[in-house]
Structure 1
């Protein structure tokens, strides 16, 4: 059963409107919210929360020792560590996305990425701050796809791993430089990973699954895979799904719904939209063109 995050539960009891949410295999939860005319206090959560303002937020106020202060707006982020009490007065429109993660998950990412185990992890609080890398990861990956679509889970898990790694490096007391990754995967490991991918194209793949098969951290696996294949894991998997779909469209009489599910898409509409955006033609048109050749 997915973990219940206190900050998420608190917002459900206020005026905030939940637009979408997804639990990823690593334990991370994403949630897209909007709010207006609301006062919210987060009381001593046992997890960390990264918030990015997507739209508006100019009239969002944070309670400080010197009183209520604002400074929000699109692409401003707030990082709220565990056990941190914070109060917010939302006086205007606000759209934002939360990423919830535990100290255990953060420690696991640190240990796997740097192969070192810190005695403790102190996450810095940041309110109404700006970070181009956080913004790019949110907008390019997390906001550019439908969270409930199975075929997007690998991209989502990759992006959240990058976010947590960036937070560990930039917003904790550790300040460790990222390790250098040289060389790609060995041929045997690469073949093992590719064999697993092609055998599970109909499944909702996660980055952690593929990294476990390679015996590497998610950070090292993603970079070594790209060095070996020239594309990121989620790009390789999406292309493999489309290649399988093309073969089924050309060589079988399976309906498009069956083909979509077989290739890891949640619905024929998701499959058709993604196929057309990447191939420039609708699946139905490809099938019709193939039939004309016979």
Structure 2
């Protein structure tokens, strides 16, 4: 997932020096900057968390009452989407930016509240302090090499924790009218279905799926049926057969390999299930397209 971040592009056209940047798998981007003797105005199509790493004492923000400073190491600024801000950087400033979108915030909201918010509006903050934010970015964002693929998980985890903290403490949330179904939350359902699709070759169990949703087997099975209109084992079998049918029609793999790839323990089990679902055995269906 990629995203063009306005603030990043604006700074690249100014005096700011880009020291390092990385795009995470989620689409969140991190950028480490240095700036000095520069004036910048930004209005963005995204949210920006600015973390002051070093110096910044002579960084000024334009307010209705004039230019005000208050920067320094471990201060942070939060610039929500569509907010416009002007800055006068009169001396050294090293800082890290985290860029994210509304969709990132909504996903965080679903994890926190187990339901989907209509919108999340971040509060605008300038030269603020928060020990939790400082600890997260000092220990995790600044503590590893951004260019090492093995560190993607650390960077992603730290970014998620930072956004979770912002949503919990520096935001206002609007909710859609609740739809009472008793089913799985949108976030848990998406993850569960993706996990099933990625592991159709494995002997999926109810316990395994329930663990993915952090629920007991009983509650998971009941809530899954509410969400999908069928029991977990029925849905899994449907997905296995749909994948098998596509592979049979592609006519590229031996039927025994297809059976294993779709989670069937034997060729005969695969053939029997396939015929019940389609009216043909796999070999019969393949023969019709030969």
For Structure 1 versus Structure 2, the TM-score category normalised by the shorter chain is: 0.5 to 0.7
Map of 1:141 onto structure 2:
140
Map of 2:164 onto structure 1:
165
- Structure with more strand by fraction: 2
Which whole-Å deviations, capped at 9, do the CAs of 1:73-130 have from their partners, x for residues lacking one? 0000000000000000000000000000001111111113321222321210000000
Map of 1:15 onto structure 2:
15
Which whole-Å deviations, capped at 9, do the CAs of 1:19-68 have from their partners, x for residues lacking one? 0000001110000000000000002x110000010000000000000000
Map of 2:30 onto structure 1:
30
What TM-score comes out, normalization by structure 2 length?
0.60
Aligned: 1:113 with 2:112: yes
Alignment of 1:187-226 (within 5 A): 215-216=212-213
Structure 2 CA distance, aligned partners of 1:33 and 1:84? 21
What TM-score comes out, normalization by structure 1 length?
0.59
How many residues are paired up?
186
For structure 2, which runs of at least 5 residues remain unmatched after alignment? 175-191, 200-208, 215-290
**Contact 2:49/2:98 (<8 A) preserved:** yes
Which whole-Å deviations, capped at 9, do the CAs of 1:106-163 have from their partners, x for residues lacking one? 1111113321222321210000000001000000000011000111111111111101
For structure 1, which runs of at least 5 residues remain unmatched after alignment? 176-188, 197-211, 218-294
Displaced runs of 4 or more, over 6 A: none
Structure 2 CA distance, aligned partners of 1:104 and 1:154? 20
Alignment of 1:167-182 (within 5 A): 167-174=166-173
Structure 1 CA distance, aligned partners of 2:120 and 2:145? 33
Map of 1:93 onto structure 2:
92
**Contact 2:49/2:79 (<8 A) preserved:** yes
How big is the shift at 1:3? Answer: 1.3
Classify 1:37/1:215 alpha carbon distance in 2 versus 1 (closer, same or farther; 3 Å): same
Structure 2 CA distance, aligned partners of 1:213 and 1:33? 44
Aligned: 1:153 with 2:186: no
Structure 1 CA distance, aligned partners of 2:10 and 2:210? 37
**Contact 2:123/2:171 (<8 A) preserved:** yes
